[in-house]
Structure 1
Amino acid sequence: MGGGDEIPQGNKLLPVPHSTASYWRSDPHWLDEYRSTEDLPSQADIVIISTGIAGVSTAYHLLNRKDNDDTPQPSILLLEARQVCSGTTGRNGGHIKKLPSTIVDLIQSLGSTAAGEVIKFIRANIYAVKHVIENEKIEAQGELRRSFDVSLHEEDAIEVKAEFERQLKSGFPLTEDLQYVGEQFAERITSIRGAKCGLSTVVLSFWPYKFVIQLLERVLNKGTANLQTNTPVTAIETDDDEGYTIYTEREKLRTATIVFATNGYTAGLLPQYRDVITPTKATASHITVPPGQNAPYLSNTYNIRYTKDRVDYLNPRPDGSIVVGGGKWTYEKERELWYDVHDDSTLIEPARHYFDELMQRHFRGWEDSGAETESVWTGIQGVTKDGAPHIGKVPGSSGQYILAGYNGGGNAFAFLAGHAIARMIREGITFEETGIPICLKTTQARLDVSKA
C-alpha cells in the first residue's frame, strides 16, 4: 500500500482460501479470477463488496438504464475476496422457490399480509431472472419447472394438507400456483417411494455460477465497471466528508457509496450486524449415474420431507445428474460444526457420506442405477433471527447499503433486491418506493430486537 500507511486488520470474518469444490464451479469462466486493471483503483463512485447474485445484480441494474437516461454512468468497483461467485451463490441448490409446505412458518413470523407480499416478491424474482437470461442470452440452463414438496411421514402429510386447505380457503397468494397431490397418486407422480402427499409450485431451475458470471460479463462490457478478484476487504473507515476509505489486503481506496452483498460474512465489516446475520455452514452434493447405466429422467425439483424438521432438496440437471443438499439432521446437534462458522474449506464430517445411495433409497426406477456421489461441498449461509433478509440503507449511514442474510434462500430474493438497491442509489428513492416488502427492510429496530 502506498504512503507507508498501516492497513487496519479489523475484519476477521473473511472467506477462507481453498474452499471445497462445488459442482457449479466445475467449469471456471475466463472472468473467474480476473482483474480489470493491474492496480486497484484509488477511488470509485460505488464499491460493491462480493460478486454473488446480489452484488452482480446490483451492478447490472446500476448500469442497465432506460434509453432516455443520458446522465454519466457511475464508476463501479466490484471487490471479491476469492474468485467470482465463489461464495453462497456458487454453492446453493440452483433454483428459485419458496417451500410451499413451510408457508405456515412464514405466516406465523410475519403475519398473513406480509407473508403474502414476500411470496409475490419471490414469484417476481423467478420471472425477472428468467427474463434476463432470455434477454441477455445467458447460457445458464434456465428452465421453468414444477417443484414438489413431498411428505414421507403420515402426520406431516396430514398437517401439510390441512394447511394447504386453509391457504386455499383464505385466498393466500401462493395457492394460485400451488397444486396438491394426495397419497393415491403421490408416489407415481413424484417418483418417490412412500410419498404420502405432494405440493407442487412453479420454480426456476438454473446454473447459478454461469448465470452470475455471464451477467457480470455484460456488466463489464458497459465500460465503467472494474472487477478485482482475490482482494479481501479488511476494514472500512468513515472520512470527515462522510465518504469512506476501504482497506484491502492490497491497497486502499475511497468511495462515497458502499454496497454490502456479503451475506454470512457481513458482520466482519458491519459489526452492528453481529448476532443479526450469523454465518452457518451447510452441505450439498452432486450425484451422477455411471456410463452405461440408466435411470429415469426427473423433470421436477424436490424437497423431500422425511419429517417436518428433516428436509433434503434435489435439483435434477439436464444431463440426468442430481444436485442434492441437506443432511442437516446428521450434525444439527453439534452446533460447533455449523453455527457461527464461516470456513467452507472442509466438509461437515457427519454428512460426508450421507448422500451415498440417496437416489436408490427413495426414487422409483433408481434401485439399480449405480448412482454415486461424485462430489460433496460446503457453503456459508447468512441466517437471521427473524427469518428475513436485510435489504436497504444501513441504519445511521450516509452511503452504505446492504442486501444480505437470506437464510439459505438467496436465489429467491437477491436479483430484485439488487434492482431495489440500484434504484435507491441512482434515483435517490426510499426503500418504501422500491416496492419491496417492507418486512425485508433493514432497520435499527430489527437490529435491536435481534440482539435483545
Structure 2
Amino acid sequence: MEQRAAIPVSLPRADPTQSYWQDPPDDIADLRSTEALPQSADIVIIGSGISGAAVAWNLFQNGTHDILMLEARQACSGATGRNGGHTKAASYRSFLHHAKEYGTDAAAQIARLELDNIRAVHAFTREHSIPCDSYPCDTIDVIYDRAQWEHGQRAIQAMRDAMPGHPAAEYTLYSLEEVQDKFYCGKGGDESVCGGIVYEAGSLSGYKLGIGVLKLCLDRRLNLQTNTPALALEKTDDGKWKVETPRGSIIAAKVVLATNGYTAHLLKRFQGLIVPTRGHVTAQRPGQNMPSEGLATTYSFIYDKGFEYMIPRPKGTRFEGDIVIGGGLFKAPENGLMENGTTDDTEADNIIQEFLYECLPSYFGDNWGEDHPDGRIRKQWTGIMGYSPDGVPFVGEVSGEKNLWMSCSFQGHGMVLCWMCAKALACMMDGRDDAELKGWFPDAFRISEKRMGSTFQGLLHVTAEEAS
C-alpha cells in the first residue's frame, strides 16, 4: 500500500469515461463566464464538484464576494458527477471505530452530521427546485457475513445508548425470511443472507445537484472557468496566492481546494495523505421478474471484505427502473490494491467490471429473471475518490499556509459529507469559527499537525474488524 500511496498524483485525465449522469452534458459543462481569465480575485475555488459549488454558495450567503472557480475539465466532471447517487450514511458501520478513536460524544456528533447532511441536501433541492431526481427513501443493508451482522447489531445498540431517541440512531433489523419477502434477496441466488438493516437514506443525481448549485452561484456572479486546470500554487510576499494555469496566472487573497482525490497534485504535503482511489459504477436494466412498480428502497450488499451499493431509478425520472450499482473493489486481485493511487478514470478494471455485470442475478436470484430484451448493461464508467489515513475528511485552513483552505477527502461518502463540510468551511473563512460551529462540526474533520503525520494503510470501515 505504501508504494501505491506514493504514486505522484496527476491532474484529472483528459477524455474520461462518460458517466450515466453526464449523458448528455449540461449546457454549462464548458462554460467560461468571461473570455479572458481575470488577473485577480478575492477567492479562487479549485474544483467545481459539490464541494466547490457548496463552498461558493455558502460564501455568497454570508456576504458579497468576488469568487473565481477553476475546473480542469468540464463542470462537475469529477467524483460528484460520477458517483452512484446514494445519499446514504451507514453511520453504524463506522460508529464503534469513531467512538474508539475520538470518544462516544464525537462519534455521535459525526453520525448526526451525516444525517443532517442528507436531509439538508434533499431540502435544498426542494427549496430551490433543482431537477436532480431527489428521492428521500429508506435503504437496506443486506448482510452476507456473520461478523458484519453481529458488528452491526453491537454498533446500533451503542448508537441508541449514545443518542436515545435521535433519528440518526433509528434502525430496523430484518431476518433472512423478511429480507427474502420484503426486499427480494436471498432466494434462488446467493442465499447466505444473515439479515437486513433498514434506515433513512435517499438517492439523487449528484451531477444535476452540482450543476444546479453552480447555476445558483452563477446568478450571484460566480466566475466559472472550465477546462482551466490549476497547475501550481505559489505564496506571494504580501500573503496572497498565485495560481498558475495554462491560460495565465491569478492572484487570490484566498484559495480553496475542493480537489478531493487530486489534491496532492497541487499540494505535495498531501501526497499519501489524500490517496486517489478509482471506483466503478454501472447502470443496468432490471431483470424481467423484478417488481414492475420498481424497488422502494436503495440497497447495499455487505460481505466479509467489501460491499456494493445500489440505487433503483425512481418513477418519473429518465430511465426509471434502471439499477445503478457500484463497488466490486474487493473482488479484484489483492482486494483491489491497484485501484489505490490511480487517477485514471479513462478506463475500467476488467475483473471489477465483469463482477458488477454479473452480481445482480446472484443477489436477487429467482426475482431477477431473464435479462431485458435490450440487454442488461446500459452504461459503465469509473471515477476517482479521495481517501485519508484516518477515514475522515480534511476541512479547514491548511496548517502553516495562511489563506489556503480546503474541503477534501470524503472516502467515497461525498453525498453525506460534502454539503455540511462546505458550510463549515465557509463559516471558518468568514471568521465565524465559534461555539455554534463547534457544536455541530466534528473536530476530527479539521486539519491538524497530528493528522498531517499519518500514514495511509488502506480503506477503513470495510471489514467488521476495522470498523470496531
Q: C-alpha separation between the residues in 2 aligned to 1:116 and 1:250? A: 46
Structure 1 pair 53/161, CA: closer, same or farther in 2 (3 Å)?
Answer: same
Q: How many angstroms does 1:398 deviate by? A: 1.6
Q: Specify the alignment match of 2:466 in structure 1.
A: none
CA contact (8 A) 1:24 1:209 kept: yes
Compared with structure 1, are the counterparts of its residues 34 and 48 closer, same or farther at alpha carbon in structure 2 (3 Å cutoff)?
Answer: same
- Higher mean alpha-carbon deviation, 349-358 vs 273-282, is at 349-358
Shift of 1:109: 3.8
Matched, 1:59 2:56: yes
Query: What amino acid sits opposite 1:102 in the alignment?
Result: R
Q: CA deviation at 1:416?
A: 1.5
Structure 1 position 432, deviation (Å)? 6.2
- The offset of 1:229, in angstroms, is 0.3
- Is 1:182 matched with 2:175? yes
C-alpha distance in 1 between matches for 2:358 and 2:336: 26
Q: How does 1:345-364 map to 2 (within 5 A)?
A: 345-363=346-364
**1:310 alignment counterpart:** 306
Q: Which amino acid aligns with 1:406?
A: F
Distance 2:194 2:444 in 1: 34
- Counterpart contact for 2:9–2:264, Cα < 8 Å: no
1:95 and 2:86 correspond: yes
Asked if structure 2 preserves the Cα contact closer than 8 Å seen for 1:147 and 1:302, the reply is yes
Q: Deviations over 1:353-393 (max 9, x none)?
A: 21224322222522224361222111111110101100011
- Partner SS state of residue 348, structure 2: coil
Give the whole-Å Cα distance in 1 for the aligned partners of 2:334 and 2:456: 23
Give the structure 1 partner of residue 332 of structure 2: 331
- Once the two structures are superposed, what CA deviation does each residue of 1:178-235 show, in whole Å capped at 9, x if it has no partner? 1111233122122212332111111131110001101111110112x10000001111
CA distance in 2, matches of 1:420, 1:29: 28
Secondary structure of 1:102's counterpart equals helix
Aligned equivalent of 2:234: 237
| Residues 241 and 163 of structure 1, relative CA distance in 2, 3 Å threshold | closer
State the one-letter code of the partner of 1:107: A
Question: Retained in 2: the 8 A contact 1:49–1:259?
Answer: yes
SS of residue paired to 1:333: helix
The yes-or-no answer on 1:201 pairing with 2:199 is yes
Q: 1:175 to 1:31 in 2, by over 3 A?
A: closer
- Tell me which residue corresponds to 1:383: 387
Mapped contact 1:119–1:174 kept (Cα < 8 A): no
Contact 2:108 2:163 in 1 (8 A): no
Match of 1:295 in 2: 290
Partner of 2:418: 414
In 1, the alpha carbon distance for the partners of 2:100 and 2:324 equals: 31
What is the Cα deviation at residue 258 of structure 1? 0.3
**Residue 74 of structure 2, aligned match among 69, 83, 88:** 83
Contact 2:142/2:299 (<8 A) preserved: yes
Return the letter of the residue paired with 1:212: G
Equivalences for residues 23-422 of structure 1 within 5 A: 23-65=20-62, 73-100=64-91, 102-103=93-94, 104-171=96-163, 176-193=169-186, 194=191, 195-223=193-221, 225-289=222-286, 293=288, 295-296=290-291, 297-305=294-302, 307-318=303-314, 319-333=320-334, 337-363=338-364, 365-370=367-372, 372-422=376-426
Distance 1:143 1:176 in 2: 21
Residues in 2 aligned to 1:141 and 1:338: alpha-carbon distance in whole angstroms: 30
* Contact kept? 2:93, 2:155, Cα under 8 Å: no
Matches of 2:34 and 2:185 in 1, distance apart?
52
Structural RMSD (CA):
2.1
2:446 to 438, 441, 449: 441
1:332, distance to aligned residue in structure 2 (A): 4.9
Gaps of at least 5 residues in structure 1 are 1-10, 66-70
| Alpha-carbon contact 1:32-1:83 (below 8 Å) kept | yes
Q: In the alignment, is the contact (CA less than 8 A) between 2:80 and 2:207 conserved in 1?
A: yes
Q: Which residue of 1 aligns with 2:427?
A: 423
Question: Per-residue CA shift, 1:117-157, capped at 9, x if unaligned?
Answer: 11100111111111210111101111111011111234543
CA distance in 2, matches of 1:108, 1:302: 28
Instruction: Name the % identity.
Output: 29
Aligned match of 2:465: none
Query: One-letter code of the match for 2:78?
Result: G
Are the counterparts in 1 of residues 389 and 454 from structure 2 also a CA contact under 8 Å?
no
AA at the equivalent of 1:178 = Y
Query: Aligned letter for 1:440?
Result: F
Deviations 1:9-42 (A, max 9, x none): xx96200101111111112110011111111111
Pairwise CA distance, 1:62: 1.1
The runs of at least 4 consecutive aligned structure 1 residues that moved more than 4 Å come to 169-175
- The code of the aligned residue for 2:451 comes to R
Work out whether residues 145 and 194 of structure 2, in 8 Å CA contact, stay in contact via their aligned partners in 1.
yes
* Counterpart-to-counterpart distance in 2, 1:168 and 1:308: 25
Q: Within 2, Cα distance between the matches of 1:115 and 1:162?
A: 14
The residue type equivalent to 2:90 in the other structure is L
Give the superposition deviation at 1:411.
1.2
3-state SS in 1 of match to 2:346: coil
Which moves more between the two structures, 136-145 or 149-158? 149-158
